[in-house]
Amino acid sequence: MTRSNLLLPVTFIILWNSGFVGAEYGLPYTGPLTLLFWRYGALTVILFLYLLIIKRLRFPGWAVTLPNMLVGLLAHGVWLSGVLFSLNLGVPAGIVALVTALQPMATGAFSGTITGERTSTGQWIGLITAFAGVALTVLARMDFSDSKAATAYLIPFVSVAAMTYANLLERKMELYQHWRILPMDLTLFYQSLATFIVFMIPAFSLESLKTQWEPPFILTMTWLVLAVSLGAYASMWKLLERMEANRFSALFYFSPPVTMLMAWIAFGDTLLLSDVGGLIIVFTGVFFTQKHSPNTQKKT
């Protein structure tokens, strides 16, 4: 891989995983629901103005818009809610990233229900092995004497389920309902709008939109909107144009070590021996999954 071809994946990995650390920076200044409200409110306005200026803003009808909004609500709203609530309850960012790294494998394992392809034994072994690695790490850190703290480590699994279901819905639209697929920028606009609208009421009623508008929070929010929501997604779309989906999904497996490194730099988070063991087991599962995936098998 040339230096120019390497730059885009590295950019995506850094921007995407900085979202975990950025969220942890922002939570002391506001609640998880309010953070999502401000983030997707700002993103919606930016995308609205962008689409308006380039004359691409359009309403394709509810039959097309609603499925895309549902995918967005799951992939953005529910996924990030799980991440934010777990971070807010004290789960280290690296551990959250480790749990959510299960999502690409789960999507691959269950995609056969949509595509009709048989999920290989190797893929299931990979997924189960990776899950065991995550379970080892999570169980070693859980304080079972504190039910609230213990439950916090289970919340990221909700994120995995939501993102997996969102990806399967999107995959189904791609295969059987092509007319429901919108251009990427318009898709992100309606997904962002759906997240903003849905979180408006709970953010106001449960957290009263309480926010400390201090410079660190403003800078963090700017980073989350521009660098993560726009920069990471833009680089993701470029990568999907150049890479097979299977190879692209492998980039998400860099999330745990990269996020752990970022969290160590930002917050001084330390690794436990169980974290290292969990990482090794997870990457063993990733190896099995990648080796036995349909795209890899076709090339061998």
Instruction: Write the DSSP assignment of 196-260 as a string of letters.
Output: HHHHHHHHHHHHTT-B---HHHHHHHHIIIIIIIIIIHHHHHHHHHHS-HHHHHGGGGGHHHHHH
With respect to residue 7, please indicate whether it lies within any of the assigned structural domains.
Answer: no
Q: Report residue 256 as tokens.
A: 């745990």
In a domain, 16, yes or no: no
Please tell me the predicted confidence (pLDDT) of residue 80: 95
Residue 196 lies in a domain: yes
Number of structural domains, the chain?
1
Specify if 276 maps to a domain: yes
pTM: 0.86
Q: What is the CA radius of gyration of the chain?
A: 19
Residue 36 lies in a domain: yes
CA distances from 77 to 15, 154, 163, 282 (A): 19, 17, 10, 26
Who's near 264: CB < 8 A, 6+ residues apart?
94, 270, 271
| Within-domain flag for 262 | yes
Task: Tell me the helix, strand and coil percentages in the chain, rounded to 5.
Answer: 85, 0, 15
Token pair 């429901």: residue: 180
pLDDT at 5: 67
Per-residue pLDDT of the chain (300 residues; tens, 9 = 90+): 455 567 888 899 999 999 999 999 999 999 999 999 999 999 999 999 999 999 999 999 999 999 999 999 999 999 999 999 999 999 999 999 989 988 887 887 787 777 676 767 777 787 788 888 888 888 888 877 888 888 999 999 999 999 999 988 888 888 887 777 888 899 999 999 999 999 999 999 999 999 999 999 999 999 999 999 999 988 988 887 776 666 677 778 888 888 988 999 988 888 888 888 888 888 888 777 767 665 554 443
CB atoms within 10 A of CB 290: 21
- How far lies 8's CA from each of 50, 140, 230, 243, in Å? 23, 35, 14, 11
Q: What is the pLDDT of residue 216?
A: 95
Q: For the range 194-200, what are the long-range contacts, defined as Cβ-Cβ under 8 Å and sequence gap of 24 or more?
A: 194/69, 194/70, 194/72, 194/73, 194/77, 195/36, 195/40, 195/72, 195/73, 195/76, 195/77, 196/37, 196/40, 196/41, 196/43, 196/44, 198/73, 198/77, 199/33, 199/36, 199/37, 199/40, 199/77, 200/37
State the residue for tokens 């993560």.
228
pLDDT of residue 60: 93
Is residue 65 included in any domain, yes or no? yes
Judge whether 168 lies within some domain: yes
What was the pLDDT predicted at 299?
A: 44
pLDDT value for 242: 78
What is the residue range of 294's domain?
Answer: 26-299
pLDDT at 275: 85
